Structure 1
Amino acid sequence: MDHRAILGRLSGAFSELPPQLAQAAKAVLDAPEEVAMHSMRRFAARFGIAPTTMVRLARFAGFDSYDDFRRPFQEALRGGGGFADRAEWLQGLSASGDIGAVISGMAEASLSNVETAFRNADAAVVAKAADALLGARRVYVVGIGGLQGLAAYFAYVTRMMLPDVRLASPAMASMVDELAGITARDVLVILSIEPYARETVRTAELAASRRSRVIAVTDSLASPIAKPASHLLIVPAASPQFFPSQTAVVAMLETLVAAVVSRGDRSLVARIEAVDRFREEQGIYWRSSRS
């Protein structure tokens, strides 16, 4: 069993696990690389879990011991190459004073999040999500709270190449009216990072109940929008600051855009060209007087 299979098993059973095992499973789902890098006791201490609970989790996953459980994660990490140059650079930043330490912490978190997101990305899932967007009658994009700006960015870009993209914004604190017309022919792209907004979860569940395909961009296999998702894209959001990092969210959204373009036909390119030409004709872009 490789590490992806282990994560899939833990994710699938997450809602049914007793509280202590659920806490341990969430730690593994959120930080699989740390399983590989740290001993059982250090990993358990890092997440406030009893070591015996980690042993129970390993047995639940089908392994005789925690070492056997850990081995697939170690093998996956070994395939990632070394990071000595990056580590040296980050140490140099940290040595340059208080602000240097802040920059170093942010750089390390951002690079690690993007790297982990791409390393763990399943190409087949990205391709199916892109195909769902290409085949949709209508695309709804939802991001609530701090994710609203990223949702607007994704809607703005995809509107250039897809015929009907709508940025859904909750009216009167509810998304029900925004999604009143959603059907099985439509796709919902929804963003959610812990702490998860109640309205976000409700929106994903509503779309799924209407048999719409749901592309969920979220930070954990244990996320409440993972279950209603048709296509699940995981993006780490660890940060030394008070608010979760959005760097990997942007990277994944841009990757999804690139996948749509790469799997689209000539009509998609023609649409992008037409939109760009119309903007030029309407004087949308600033041009130097010398150009």
Structure 2
Amino acid sequence: MQGLIVSATDHKAILGKLSAAFSELPPQLAQAAKAVLDAPEEVAMHSMRRFAARFGIAPTTMIRLAKLAGFDSYDDFRKPFQEALRGGGGFADRAEWLQSLAASGDVGAVVGGMAEASLSNVEAAFRGADARTIASAADTLLRARKVHVVGIGGLYGFATYFAYVTRMMLPDVHLASPAMGSVVDELAGLTARDALLVLSIAPYARETVRTADLAVERRAAVIGVTDSLASPLAQRASHLLVVPAASPQFFPSQTALVAMLETLVAAVVSRGDRSLVSRIKAVDRFREQQGIYWRNSKSEAKLT
């Protein structure tokens, strides 16, 4: 048997070899390898054909990947993942996993605490999320003449991310950056036909509240993404999305905030029309033509 030489139960070794060889794989095999790396539990749970269909991969490509990895068949390739799922090796119960982290020393306790906070925040955000509010916020973004995105201080990077992604599908998205020391200065043209998406996590920035107040005064729609119903945005937002930010470290966790922003983006896509899809395709095509994306030109190679 050539290719990867791994034990029958060591799915982690398979993942490690796939990761190490990923940059050398041709496009189709790279797509299959990425699917396995991103969702190893689904390899265990689903048949080859179902797994392949789930990720848009030809079944024959999965067979090629299995052979490249050193297995005679896809079923043999799948067995280590099934053993891991049955035995908890790599897909362990959440509580057991967190306890093991906390017991592994000072750094382990830190990692365990962060993992617990991040998972709990995301779970709480989605448990408390109202699908109708998310849908309404998405519709507001779709209808807006112009979308302004505001994030002060540490939240500026997340605002940049949201603005970058939504520019691919909405005609006019503006990331508000401080001008002359004030974000408010950039919103002078805000009208009732516009929407303001504003991020705010305690301790709440005074400039954030001023921005929301201006939007309310101008009768623009305000989509507030914040950490509490006690936030100053709670009374100012026409659409309120609450994202817990508890953290054992000195700075609030932003994990749930990112998850909610991505959910809002997904909602915009799902509720948009064909013109939105066409715009995304056009932007992607332009980037492709300009050589923005890195492409692997190396030929197919065996994993070693």
Q: TM-score, normalised by structure 2?
A: 0.67
How far did 1:290 drift?
A: 2.8
Q: Give the number of the structure with larger relative contact order, counting CA–CA contacts within 8 Å between residues 6 or more apart.
A: 2
- Aligned-pair identity in percent equals 80
How far did 1:289 drift?
A: 2.9
Partner of 1:135: 143
Q: Runs of 5+ in structure 1 lacking a partner?
A: 1-83
Partner of 1:261: 269
Residues 37-75 of structure 1 show CA distances to partners (whole Å, capped at 9, x for unaligned) of: xxxxxxxxxxxxxxxxxxxxxxxxxxxxxxxxxxxxxxx
- The question of 1:172 aligning with 2:190 is answered no
SS in 1 for 2:234: coil
Residues 239-262 of structure 1 show CA distances to partners (whole Å, capped at 9, x for unaligned) of: 000000000000000000000000
How far did 1:203 drift?
A: 0.3
Which residue of the other structure, out of 228, 232, 239, is the alignment partner of 2:247? 239
- In 2, distance between residues paired with 1:211 and 1:185? 8
Q: Which amino acid aligns with 2:220?
A: S
Q: Which amino acid aligns with 1:87?
A: A
Aligned length: 208
Partner of 2:284: 276
Q: Which amino acid aligns with 1:254?
A: E
Partner of 1:110: 118
- In 1, distance between residues paired with 2:168 and 2:110? 38
| Correspondence list, 1:2-151, <5 A | 85-151=93-159
Residues 140-194 of structure 1 show CA distances to partners (whole Å, capped at 9, x for unaligned) of: 0000000000000000000000000000012122122210011010000000000
Residues 7-37 of structure 1 show CA distances to partners (whole Å, capped at 9, x for unaligned) of: xxxxxxxxxxxxxxxxxxxxxxxxxxxxxxx
- In 2, distance between residues paired with 1:211 and 1:278? 36
- In 2, distance between residues paired with 1:194 and 1:183? 28
- In 1, distance between residues paired with 2:122 and 2:151? 20
Partner of 1:59: none
Superposition CA RMSD, Å:
1.1
- In 1, distance between residues paired with 2:109 and 2:184? 45
- In 1, distance between residues paired with 2:114 and 2:166? 29
Dislocated runs of 4+, deviation >6 Å: none
Q: Runs of 5+ in structure 2 lacking a partner?
A: 1-91, 300-304
- In 2, distance between residues paired with 1:114 and 1:173? 33
